[in-house]
Structures are given as structure tokens and as C-alpha cells.
Amino acid sequence: MRQFKSALCLILLLGAIVFLTGQEQTSEAQITISAEQASKHIGETATVCGKVVDARYASSSKGRPTFLNLDKPYPNQIFTVVIWGEDRDKFGKPEEKYKDKYICVTGKIISYRGIPEIIAKDPSQIKIVEKQ
């Protein structure tokens, strides 16, 4: 009986840890920041919002990326949404669809050559919103 109670306590403890860990990850994704703030959140999952001021489909580049630069255009971009060619069909023509729109993109913020970016693999990651 004592072993049963010990096993039950251990199972409950492990369940609580898994639950709390899941809660922490969920709340981390709820962070909403501006494109300018993104460089302070490298490695975090967040929602980054800004205006797409520059959009380009690099069809002849390796991986055929589409770049959506928020708030400042290339070569002075401060945040980029990258859509790789393998995922592009899901988005239609993102360089046209999102150009001059205020968007929020959710995902893990990474740094490429010192510029923060999120790689969007699915259209559900990008929402067109009214400027806040």
C-alpha cells in the first residue's frame, strides 16, 4: 500500500511538472512585440507586429525565399518574415498579399546576420490586422 501511495504521488508530481511546463510555453507565445523590439527576444516564441514596407520574392536564389521586411526596407531592415519556396504555394503571392499591410507574425525569433526574423511555414502564422 505504501508503494502504491508513493507511486501515485510521483505520478501526480510528474503530471504537475508537465502541465506547468506546457503552461509556460503557451504563455511565452502570447508575447506581442513590435518589429523594433524583436532583437531583444532572439530564441523566444512571440508575435511580432509591424507594417510590411518591403516585400520581395527571390525566385532565383537558393531556397527561393520570400522576404517581408517590417517597418524599414532592405538594406536597413529591422525584422524580416521569411517564407521558403517549399512553403510558398500555401501563401499564394505573399509579396503582393502582405505588401503595405500591417501584420502580426507568430513563431520563434531567430537571428540571421544580426537581423531578427521568423520563418513562416504556414499562413496561420501571419495575420493582417488594423494598426494598433
| pLDDT tens digits for range 92-106 | 999 999 999 999 999
Stretches where the chain sits below pLDDT 50 are 4, 7-10, 12-28
Strands, E, within 40-125: which ranges? 45-57, 66-70, 80-83, 102-108, 110-112, 115-119
First-residue to last-residue Cα distance in the chain? 60
Rounded (5°) CA angle 132-93-34? 25
pLDDT of residue 56: 98
